[in-house]
Structure formats: C-alpha cells, structure tokens
Amino acid sequence: MTTVLDRTTSPATPSTSPAPLLRERGQREVFCGLTSIIWLHRKLQDAFFLIVGSRTCAHLMQSAAGVMIFAEPRFATAIIEDRDLAGMADLHDELDRIVARVVARRPEIRMIVLVGSCPSEVIKLDLSKAAERLQARGQYAGVRFLTYTGSGIETTFTEGEDRFLASLVTALPAQEQNAKPRLLVAGCLADVVEDQFRRIFTALGIEQVDFLPMRESTVMPSVGPSTTVLLAQPYLTETARLLQSRGCQLLHPLFPLGEEGTTAWLRAAADAFGVDPGRFEAITRPGRDRARIAMTRARSELEGKSLFLFPDSQLEPALARVLSREAGMVPLEVGTPFLNRLHLSSELDLLPSDVTLSEGQDVDRQLDRLRDAAPDLTVCGMGLANPLEAEGFATKWSIELVFTPIQGYDQAGDLAELFMRPLRRRALLQTGRA
C-alpha cells in the first residue's frame, strides 16, 4: 500500500500503489523539451524542426545534438533578436522569410514543425496561427505545417516528444467505417527496434501495424475505433488522451524494457488481436532466451548494487522495475517528474515494497536523501552528474537512456551495459587511487 505524503498536509488515504510516495515541489534540474528534437528529427526523415527562440536555444541544440551547424541538420533556430522584442520588426514577417529560405534550400522537406520556446511563450507569439497562415499559402503545396511548444517552463525534456506527437495526432486522418483492426505503436523508437517489433508482430499474424511517429510524414496512419494503441514510452500522457478521444483503445501493459517487460508488452497486443497462446510462446521464445542470457551476464556485476534515480525522464519506474527484477539491483529511491498512475500501474505493482517513490523535484531535499543513502549508482541529469562525481558518487546520465535503443529483447543487454559502465569506471578510479 502507498501512503501519499504531501509536504503541506497530513497523510492522505492510502492508495493501491506498492511504494511510499513523496510529492516534491521545489527547485528543479532538468533539460527543456527542445532536447527531444534531437531524436525526433532523426526519426522523421523528411521533417524540419524550426525552433523560434533565443541564442541560448540554438547553443543548447547544437551542443546537445553534437553536430556543427554547417552539417545542415534538419533543425534550426529562428533567433528572436532585440529588435524583435522592441517591436522594430514584425515577428511574423521574419518567420515567413525564414520558412521561405528553408523550403528553397531543402526541397525534400515535406513537414515543417514550428517549435515554441520559453522566449516565444513569454512574448505571446502564436505559432499555431502562424502555422495555419503558412499552410494556407499556395506556395508551400506539399509541405505540412505543425506546431508545438518545447518550452522548459514547468516541464521536463521528454514532454517535448509528447507534445509533438499530440500535435501529430490531431492531423491524422480518420478511419473509414468498418475498417479492419489496426495496431498503433505510439512513441519514438530507434529504427532497428521498430524493425524488430514489426517482424515479431508479423510473425504473430498482426500485420496491420503502424508506428507513431512514422519515418515519413507523407505516410500518415488513420486512427479511430478500430485502432488499438500500445505506448512504447511512459511519458505520452497528452498523446494517449488525444488518441482515446478519437476512439482508439489503449492498452496498459509493462513497457518493453528487459525480457519481462517486452514479453508483457507483446502479449498485450497478442491478446487484443486473438493470437493463439502457443503461437505467441513459440514466436517470442528465442528473443526471451537471448534477453535472459544477456541479463544473467549483467546480473553478476549489478546484483546487490544500490540505485538512486532522480526525477528526469519519466522512464524511472520502468527502469527500476527491470533493474531490480532482472539484474538484482536494489532501488532505494525512484523519482519521476510526473507520475501517471494509469500508464504506470503495472510498473508500480512490481517495484519493491520498501522503495521510496517521489513525484516532482526538490533537488536540495533529494540531494540530502542521496547523501544519506550513499547508493552505489545514481541516475540523474547532466547538471547534477559532475558535482556528484566530484563527491565520489558513480552516476549515469538519464538523457542517455532516451538517446540509446534500449527497448526489446535484443537491447536488454545494452540496457544493462549502460548501468555497468559507470560502476566499472568508479572501480577503476578507486583502484588507481589506492
């Protein structure tokens, strides 16, 4: 049972979650939603993400993506200058000019996504109206315009993907009446992982499968009452809500991390489409065996190691589940920026009963608890990692868990490896000092 503890009230009525919950509301240390463009622009191969923001936004994207601007990645920043803020220039005219340059320079682009930022929100720039105006112009025939906000005000970086997919959902065509049942996998996956899942679904006899986001913006899946949705990522709250509002049926299994999670995720789809249990067992057995072998090797290094997860990506509950149940690690505290109990109910049920679960962030309090707990490994944002390393803590960047393919059977070993490396590095450093 979970006792919900609020900093300002007495204990609330116990809920059905297996771990104590702390609600934190204080200083935060997270990336903004613009960071999600790094993996989104790689997935949609004919889309261009145009950030309307400041020079700080541009520097963040260039450094976080690890690319130089002359490499011409499919994202850029329309920088809001002082003259724009002073009203000496019409921001909409400036935006139109930049869009025209993008279309002329990149004729292969079929979707332009206008991305809001903290500066554009502060000056109340309505990018949705700008997208509508640009879409109505005949000169951009064949180019679709979408918009969402990647602002870091009261958000975390994975919410950028949720907001983009939510915008995309509103543009998806409606299914025809009496359409055949289809499976929609929502959430950005690496191409290699998507291909693996597609092969498994085909082998199971589920051939009508779409992925969101799609690789090409011109191939838009239709959605409606005949659509069953599997979430590949736990942070797609708004996307899931909009899909359900369009009549889609949403499944709530474990997320596809590790052998246990991947099997439960695939089984949910198989059950929804009436796949024979024997066929499911035969198709998934090779992948399950490979994942178990990989996790058994990792367990020799990870078993018994304590783990402290700061709230950053919203992947934390699922990560704690797979690391505790398949790798033998001991999660002490599992923090998450936002806790969607509906999407994470299966994950929460499998967490150790004595783990501390926190929602939100109060970084000073959490740092105090970290130092008291003295875990073997800390999962946190880049801004906290270096100071904690200087204090003697082994750390893992949480953002790396979003950039790296970790879903599915064949990536189970890669997932474990991400947590083994910092422990090995710390051991080598300690040996060198001895």
Residue numbers in the known binding site for [4Fe-4S] cluster are: 32, 57, 118
Detail the residues annotated as belonging to a binding site.
32, 57, 118
> Are 61 and 77 in contact, with CB atoms under 8 Å apart?
yes
Instruction: Classify the phi-psi angles of 111: left when phi > 0, otherwise alpha if psi is within -120 to 50, otherwise beta.
Output: beta
DSSP 315-328: -HHHHHHHHHHTS-
> Are 406 and 257 in contact, with CB atoms under 8 Å apart?
yes
The neighbour count for residue 198, using CB atoms within 10 Å, is 15
Query: What is the 8-class DSSP label of residue 63?
Result: H
DSSP 377-405: EEEE-HHHHHHHHHTT--EEETTHHHHS-
Contacts of 348 (CB under 8 A, 6+ apart): 17, 18, 19, 317, 341, 357
265, with CB counted inside 10 A (0-12, 13-18, 19+), is buried
> Are 209 and 182 in contact, with CB atoms under 8 Å apart?
yes
Task: Tell me the CA end-to-end span of the chain in Å, nearest whole number.
Answer: 45
Instruction: Classify the phi-psi angles of 284: left when phi > 0, otherwise alpha if psi is within -120 to 50, otherwise beta.
Output: alpha
For residues 102 and 370, give the distance between their C-alpha atoms in angstroms, rounded to a whole number.
47
Would you call 185 helix, strand, or coil by DSSP? strand
